[in-house]
Amino acid sequence: MIHCEGLVKIFKSDDIEVVALQGLNLTVEQGEMMAIIGNSGSGKSTLLNILGGLDRPSAGQVNVGGWDLLKISDDQLVEYKRNTVGFVWQNNARNLLPYLTALENVEMPMLLTGKLDRAYAKQLLEWVGLKDRMHNKLHQLSGGEQQRVAIAISLSNRPKMLLADEPTGSVDTSTSDQIMKIFREVNRELGITIVIVTHDLTLASKVDRVVAIRDGLTSTEFVKRNPNLDLATVEGALNGGLQEIHEAFVVVDRVGRLQVPKEYLEAVGIDGRASMEFDGERIVIMAPKSLEGDK
Ligand X SMILES: Nc1ncnc2c1ncn2[C@@H]1O[C@H](COP(=O)(O)OP(=O)(O)O)[C@@H](O)[C@H]1O
- Interface with ligand X (CB under 6 A), residue from 41, 98, 143, 269: 41
Least separation in angstroms between residue 269's CB and Mg ion is 35
d(CA 215, CA 196): 18
Task: Tell me if 125 sits within 8 A of 154, measured CB to CB.
Answer: no
- Interface with ligand X (CB under 6 A), residue from 8, 37, 44, 159: 44
d(CA 141, CA 130): 10
- Nearest CA to 144 out of 158, 133, 157 is that of 133
CA 5 to chain centre: 15
- Interface with Mg ion (CB under 5 A), residue from 22, 25, 45, 220: 45
Q: Which is nearer to Mg ion, 22 or 45 (CB)?
A: 45
How many binding residues for ligand X (CB under 6 A)?
11
Least separation in angstroms between residue 285's CB and ligand X is 25
Does residue 38 bind ligand X (CB under 6 A)?
yes
Segment near ligand X (CB under 6 A), from 38-46, 74-82, 92-100, 103-111? 38-46
Residue 154's binding partner out of Mg ion, ligand X, none, with CB under 5 to 8 Å set by partner kind: none
What does each C-alpha distance from 233 to 36, 204, 223, 236, 289 come to in angstroms?
A: 14, 10, 8, 5, 39
Segment near ligand X (CB under 6 A), from 40-48, 63-71, 145-153, 238-246? 40-48
Residue 18's binding partner out of ligand X, Mg ion, none, with CB under 5 to 8 Å set by partner kind: ligand X
Binding mask 11-30 for ligand X (x = CB under 6 A): x------x-x----------
**Percent of the chain as helix, strand, coil, to the nearest 5:** 35, 25, 40
Q: Which is nearer to ligand X, 148 or 214 (CB)?
A: 214
What does each C-alpha distance from 81 to 31, 47, 73, 214 come to in angstroms?
A: 18, 15, 12, 27
Does residue 168 bind Mg ion (CB under 5 A)?
no
- Nearest CA to 209 out of 19, 16, 26 is that of 26
- Nearest CA to 59 out of 210, 253, 281 is that of 253
Least separation in angstroms between residue 238's CB and ligand X is 12
What does each C-alpha distance from 25 to 19, 159, 254 come to in angstroms?
A: 15, 23, 17
Does residue 58 bind ligand X (CB under 6 A)?
no
Q: Where are the beta strands (DSSP E) in the chain?
A: 2-12, 17-28, 33-37, 59-64, 67-68, 85-88, 161-165, 193-198, 209-214, 217-218, 275-278, 283-286
Q: Which is nearer to ligand X, 45 or 187 (CB)?
A: 45
SS3 20: strand
Q: Which is nearer to Mg ion, 9 or 133 (CB)?
A: 9
Residue 167's binding partner out of ligand X, Mg ion, none, with CB under 5 to 8 Å set by partner kind: none
Residue 38's binding partner out of Mg ion, ligand X, none, with CB under 5 to 8 Å set by partner kind: ligand X
Residues of this chain that interact with Mg ion (CB under 5 A) are: 44-45
Residues of this chain that interact with ligand X (CB under 6 A) are: 11, 18, 20, 38, 40-46
